A and B are shown apart, each in its own frame.
Chain A
Amino acid sequence: MIGRLAQIAGAYFRSALQEEFAYRGDLFGNVIRSVLNLGTAIGGVVVIFSHTETLGGWTLGQTLSLLGIFVFVNGFVAMFMSPSLNRVVEEVREGTFDYVLMKPVPALFLASARRFAVWHVSDIVLGAIVLGVALAGLDVRASGWGVLLFVALLACGVTIVYAIWLALTTLVFWFVRVANVTMIFNLFFQTGRYPIEVYPFWLRQLLTFVFPVAFVTTVPAQAVTGRDPSWLVWVAPVIAVVALLAATRFWRFGLSRYTSASS
């Protein structure tokens, strides 16, 4: 089953590559845009630190590491997640989602692994570079366990993002004209550019327990920059699993509503 799904995802990925090559101009333009975006973001952080030594207790190097993680995850999400899920919203609107349901493959899989925005690979690479350079400047000793913990936390963060986005997408089964899901999502997701500590108390609670962006950048960054890992490290996997289970259940519920077309 896994092998078959991998094959299917591979076929979709090849089509995505081909679509990208059909618009080679885009590829170039988007790499430039990634670089400019990153430049502005780094510039912003540097300007802030020209006025202060620390930001919410984070040093310049630590904050830049966090920014690298943010750019990386942002690129990952934009490349692997949002294209497919956004497509679901369009398809439900246009009625072509019927063709997805006609395929002998679980609908959730097709909803999640069908479209890829290949050129976002530049964000992924740039994010990794920023993280690497910032860490080198920090002079933290990376133990094997540390790296493993970091990767695990990053995986938890990405899982949480997927769960949130899936849940938002599922709303389309009730509100066909659901406001641009990407916008709602980004509103919160962009807060992940800075450590959670810079935000006021109420927003911190919101970003930890309701829309848990804290687990996407702050928590992995704490682990990798050698800051004292907070208790959130232990909560991350729990939240990730709970969010994923809840989101897929919600999806199934929404889908059953769609297939009985009661609206």
Chain B
Amino acid sequence: MSADVRVRHLVKHYEVADREGGLRASLRSVVRRRHRSVRAVDDITFDVEPGEIVGFLGPNGAGKTTALKLLSGLLHPTAGEATVLDFTPWERRREFLSQITLIMGQRQQLYWDLPALDTFLVNKAVFGLEDAAYREAVDLLVGLLELEEILTKPVRQLSLGERMKAELAAGLLHRPRVLFLDEPTIGLDVTMQQRIRDFVTRYNATTGATILLTSHYMADVKALAERVIVIDHGKLLYDGPLTGLIDRYAPHKTITLHLERPVDRADVAAYGEVVSADDVQVSVRTDKAQAASVTARMLAELPVADLSVEDPPLEYVIDQVFHRRAS
């Protein structure tokens, strides 16, 4: 079976008119526009297999949204190739558009003044869904997203989280095989983020759909994607399992000690880089390979009351990824 999403050396440059501030500059730019090329996506290559969930990770402006727009056929690339379900996305064939969806956390398609159910009916006609298929899809989504109460209220009366759930449902009625989700949890409170994450996992398990999602919430990525693709400045920096990312970019452990009595800071520093220290609680960062031996030595040589060993937080790992690239 071939990959659902196949991307080869994909490049997208935006031409933007460069303009300095001020009236003078504005007037000048009317006459003589200077153009600058923004390399939003800069030669990325990867595959996504059927049924996979892949998390796109990167800081703001990294090129995540642009990549998803290319793959859903909204943009033409500057160079490179891509196929999604064996279609070239930007040819925008009907069969292609019927089998994918792009849902953007910051943009909504629902009718504002009508209940979401009315948007559903419009999408039913637009996608040419049979009654039975439509009913089945609605039932599945109502179940997974707990939509009963939500669907019959005008959209403008819904909370942000409820609206996002309804948006997801509206974008999934046609049972797409490939989902592009752009920041689906943006702006939601923690509980609602959690709900959306659960939904994505269960939807994937139930339907076997392939899912590419972007987020800059670490929790999303940690919970959802076994595989992450990290991009920055349009370049692909890492593609692989989340654990591999940690090993590669932050190959250390943080050992936190509870001491029976305060000790000299210098004594602790001998074991590794001190991350934080107060009277009786000290955190030390050591090489992953040496974590075991360092722990043993600490137990033997310091007045340890309690001790824990942890992987670095994902935020820190990501920080390392982007920092390394910059330097």
The answer to whether the Cβ of B323 comes within 8 Å of any Cβ in the partner chain is no
Q: What are 22 A-B residue pairs whose CB atoms fall within 8 Å in the complex? A: A7-B128, A8-B126, A12-B122, A14-B121, A15-B114, A15-B122, A18-B118, A19-B113, A22-B114, A99-B109, A101-B73, A101-B74, A102-B72, A102-B73, A102-B102, A103-B127, A104-B127, A105-B126, A259-B75, A259-B90, A260-B75, A261-B75
Question: Which residues from 210 to 263 on chain A have a C-beta closer than 8 Å to any C-beta of chain B?
Answer: 256, 259-263
The answer to whether the Cβ of A96 comes within 8 Å of any Cβ in the partner chain is yes
A27 to B173, CA, bound (A): 33
Asked whether, in the complex, the Cβ of B128 is within 8 Å of the Cβ of A15, the reply is no
B71 to chain A, nearest CB (A): 12
Instruction: Give the residue name and chain of the A residue nearest to B170 (CB).
Output: A99
Question: Which residues from 2 to 20 on chain A have a C-beta closer than 8 Å to any C-beta of chain B?
Answer: 4, 7-8, 10-12, 14-15, 18-19
Point out the residue from A11, A96, A261, A262 that lies within 8 Å of B125, measured CB to CB: A11
The answer to whether the Cβ of A144 comes within 8 Å of any Cβ in the partner chain is no
Asked whether, in the complex, the Cβ of A19 is within 8 Å of the Cβ of B74, the reply is no
Asked whether, in the complex, the Cβ of B74 is within 8 Å of the Cβ of A4, the reply is no
CB-CB under 8 A from A259, the residues of chain B are: 74-76, 90
CB-CB under 8 A from A22, the residues of chain B are: 113-114, 154
Asked whether, in the complex, the Cβ of B97 is within 8 Å of the Cβ of A260, the reply is no
Question: Which residues from 77 to 113 on chain B have a C-beta closer than 8 Å to any C-beta of chain A?
Answer: 90, 92, 94-95, 97-98, 101-102, 104, 106-109, 111, 113
Instruction: Give the residue name and chain of the A residue nearest to B119 (CB).
Output: A15
Known: A19-B111, A22-B154. A98 touches B127 (CB 8 A): no
Question: Which residues from 133 to 165 on chain A have a C-beta closer than 8 Å to any C-beta of chain B?
Answer: none
**Interface size of A by Cβ–Cβ distance < 8 Å?**
28
Instruction: Give the residue name and chain of the B residue nearest to A98 (CB).
Output: B74
A263 to B15, CA, bound (A): 6
Asked whether, in the complex, the Cβ of A11 is within 8 Å of the Cβ of B121, the reply is yes
Given contact pairs A19-B111, A105-B94, A263-B17, a sample of 17 additional A-B residue pairs in the complex whose CB atoms are under 8 Å apart: A15-B118, A15-B119, A18-B118, A22-B114, A22-B154, A98-B102, A98-B104, A98-B107, A99-B107, A99-B109, A101-B73, A102-B102, A104-B95, A256-B76, A261-B75, A262-B14, A263-B16
Instruction: Give the residue name and chain of the A residue nearest to B101 (CB).
Output: A102
**Which residues of B approach A to under 8 Å, CB–CB?**
14-17, 69, 72-76, 90, 92, 94-95, 97-98, 101-102, 104, 106-109, 111, 113-114, 118-119, 121-122, 124-128, 154
Q: Which 9 A-B pairs have the closest CB atoms?
A: A11-B125, A104-B97, A99-B109, A104-B94, A260-B76, A262-B15, A104-B98, A8-B125, A11-B122
Instruction: Give the residue name and chain of the B residue nearest to A7 (CB).
Output: B125
CB-CB under 8 A from A263, the residues of chain B are: 14-17
Asked whether, in the complex, the Cβ of A18 is within 8 Å of the Cβ of B114, the reply is yes
Instruction: Give the residue name and chain of the B residue nearest to A12 (CB).
Output: B122
CB-CB under 8 A from A44, the residues of chain B are: none
Asked whether, in the complex, the Cβ of A96 is within 8 Å of the Cβ of B113, the reply is no
CB-CB under 8 A from A260, the residues of chain B are: 75-76
